[in-house]
């Protein structure tokens, strides 16, 4: 019996050590500082968030209470249903055209009068498990307007039915296709942009490094809204902003009670890749030689330090990456365009950034 006990103890020790190795990553604490003034802007209203934003927050809090006690399967379906309801009842001054982007389902989002040779690859958020071109029409329709471009919103493969790598491959395929195909047919793009939010922000930043390494035509600008950049969840705000992030806190707060070595095992088993791999955690990669990039984030959300660390590290590597942060807002508040004034402001600043980078490129 004693040898069985010793075998079990050694097995547990092995699993513990291997889990710690899975979770091991570069120490990013050197980038836990304010971004230099030349590369950052912070916005706040003297009276706090607008009444419209407070209403959106109340709605999210009410829905957040519904996830308590749900099984994983129930929470997955709840999240998917909720996101698909976001554009319900909204009127859009845009045309939505379904398209097959070399096997990746997608839709062109076309604001009136946009130049079809100017193109945006938009990658929706949803924690890699939810979301679609439909769920993000409030963002993509406005993105088309402010960029004066045709937006290709892709329906990449989601987890858990698919692997994380499958979604990444869909993004790569769609980007290659978009370079030579527009809403009017086969034609090379004159300008190329890329954007995404949350999980889609993660994929956009992963893509920016991949495009550089693959020596493809680089985007003229990249926009990442509240991106996840560190899948090891090592940023201080992951825990310090748990209570102020009323969107992500109820959904993912329980993960923080799980030992780090167990989280490492869970991530590897689910994704077949270490959580610190730059393919899923762009902040751990080489951030030199990147295109002009704008990162927007709320200072109240759990992913604040994901954004700040990424920007600081990229700027240290010489890349023209900027941070815009807002006080007290929801995670990816831009999705509440046009109802919430802060969403209108953020989208306007995206337009200014794209216009400026376009002028610089010219």
Catalytic residues: 198, 301, 331
Instruction: Name the 3-class secondary structure at 136.
Output: coil
Beta-strand runs (E) in the chain: 40-43, 95-101, 104-110, 115-123, 149-154, 181-182, 185-186, 191-197, 221-225, 293-298, 321-326
Residue whose pair of structure tokens reads 């200014």 in the numeric block: 352
Cβ-contact 212, 289 below 8 angstroms: yes
Tokens 């889990």, residue? 19
**What DSSP letter does each residue of 10-24 carry, written as one string?**
HHHHHHHHHHHHHH-
- Any idea of the CA torsion for 200, 204, 209, 215, to the nearest 10 degrees? 130
Measured N-to-C along each axis, helices 164-180 and 199-214 cross at an angle, to the nearest 10 degrees, of: 60
Say how far apart CA 312 and CA 277 lie, in whole Å. 19
DSSP 181-246: EETTEE---SEEEEEEETHHHHHHHHHHHHHHHHTPPPPSEEEEES----TT--STHHHHTTTT-T
CA 131 to chain centre: 12
List C-alpha distances in Å: 355 to 76, 149, 325, 361, 362. Answer: 38, 11, 20, 10, 11
**Cβ atoms of 148 and 118 closer than 8 Å:** yes
What does DSSP say about strands 40-43 and 321-326: parallel, antiparallel, or unpaired? Answer: parallel
Tokens found for residue 93: 């001054």
68 neighbors 352 (Cβ within 8 angstroms): no
């Amino acid at each position: 019996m004693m040898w069985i006990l010793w075998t079990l103890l050694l097995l547990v020790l092995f699993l513990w050590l291997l889990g710690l190795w899975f979770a091991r990553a570069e120490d990013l604490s050197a980038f836990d500082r304010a971004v230099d003034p030349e590369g950052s802007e912070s916005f706040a209203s003297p009276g706090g968030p607008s009444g419209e934003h407070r209403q959106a927050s109340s709605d999210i809090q009410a829905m957040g209470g519904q996830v308590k006690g749900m099984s994983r399967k129930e929470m997955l379906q709840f999240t998917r249903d909720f996101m698909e309801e976001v554009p319900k009842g909204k009127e859009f001054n845009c045309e939505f055209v379904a398209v097959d982007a070399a096997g990746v389902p997608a839709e062109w989002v076309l604001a009136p009068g946009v130049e079809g040779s100017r193109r945006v690859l938009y990658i929706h958020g949803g924690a890699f498990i939810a979301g679609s071109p439909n769920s993000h029409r409030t963002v993509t329709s406005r993105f088309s307007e402010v960029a004066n471009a045709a937006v290709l919103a892709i329906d990449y493969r989601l987890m858990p039915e698919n692997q994380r790598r499958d979604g990444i491959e869909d993004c790569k395929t769609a980007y290659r296709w978009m370079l030579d195909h527009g809403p009017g047919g086969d034609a090379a793009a004159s300008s190329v942009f890329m954007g995404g939010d949350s999980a889609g922000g993660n994929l956009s930043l992963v893509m920016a490094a991949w495009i550089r390494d693959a020596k493809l035509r680089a985007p003229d600008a990249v926009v990442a809204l509240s991106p996840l950049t560190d899948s090891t969840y090592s940023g201080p705000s992951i825990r310090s902003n748990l209570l102020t992030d009323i969107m992500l806190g109820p959904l993912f707060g329980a993960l923080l009670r799980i030992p780090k070595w167990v989280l490492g095992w869970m991530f590897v088993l689910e994704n077949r890749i270490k959580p610190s791999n730059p393919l899923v955690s762009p902040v751990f990669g080489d951030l030199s030689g990147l295109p002009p990039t704008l990162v927007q984030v709320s200072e109240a959300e759990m992913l604040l330090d994901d954004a700040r660390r990424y920007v600081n590290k990229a700027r240290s590597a010489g890349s023209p990456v900027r941070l815009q942060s807002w006080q007290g807002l929801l995670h990816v508040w831009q999705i509440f365009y046009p109802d919430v004034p802060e969403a209108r402001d953020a989208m306007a600043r995206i337009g200014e950034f794209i216009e400026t980078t376009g002028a610089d490129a010219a």
